[in-house]
Structure 1
């Protein structure tokens, strides 16, 4: 369903970005949703909130050192 008529942005596109870990402000910046007439903001926020409740996000931690973060054997180079 089209949520933002001005920018022609669908609920699926908003949900895809929300599943990728983006919040409403990030999605608004990226897609331009709710930046013209503003009539879609409530619906767009609802889509983001519903997806955030259903879609788990990845728990990614950074390596504490360069050696810990290596994913291949560089000693053969």
Structure 2
């Protein structure tokens, strides 16, 4: 699904970027450009970021 229409960024791209170590919103903005134009994608991008960070945290607690 497209999250950022201005830059053509999908949720898969966001998830992959988080998996590569971009765990802060500013990292995603710098890496992909999400939220750099109109800003309407920011709430969804933040939700995906939080979800992926929570998954990673759970993984490390179990491992």
Per the normalisation by structure 2, the TM-score is: 0.83
Shift of residue 51, structure 1, vs aligned partner:
0.3
What is the match of residue 53 of structure 2? 52
What is the match of residue 20 of structure 2? 20
Structure-2 separation of matches of 1:41 and 1:35: 9
Structure number with the higher helix fraction is 2
Structure-1 separation of matches of 2:40 and 2:25: 15
Structure-1 separation of matches of 2:51 and 2:19: 10
Per the normalisation by structure 1, the TM-score is: 0.69
User: How big is the alpha-carbon RMSD for the aligned residues of Structure 1 and Structure 2?
Assistant: 1.7
Larger-gyration structure (1/2) = 1
Gapped regions of structure 2 (runs ≥ 5): none
Gapped regions of structure 1 (runs ≥ 5): 59-77
The runs of at least 4 aligned residues of structure 1 exceeding 3 Å deviation read none
Which has the bigger relative contact order, CA under 8 A and spacing at least 6? 2
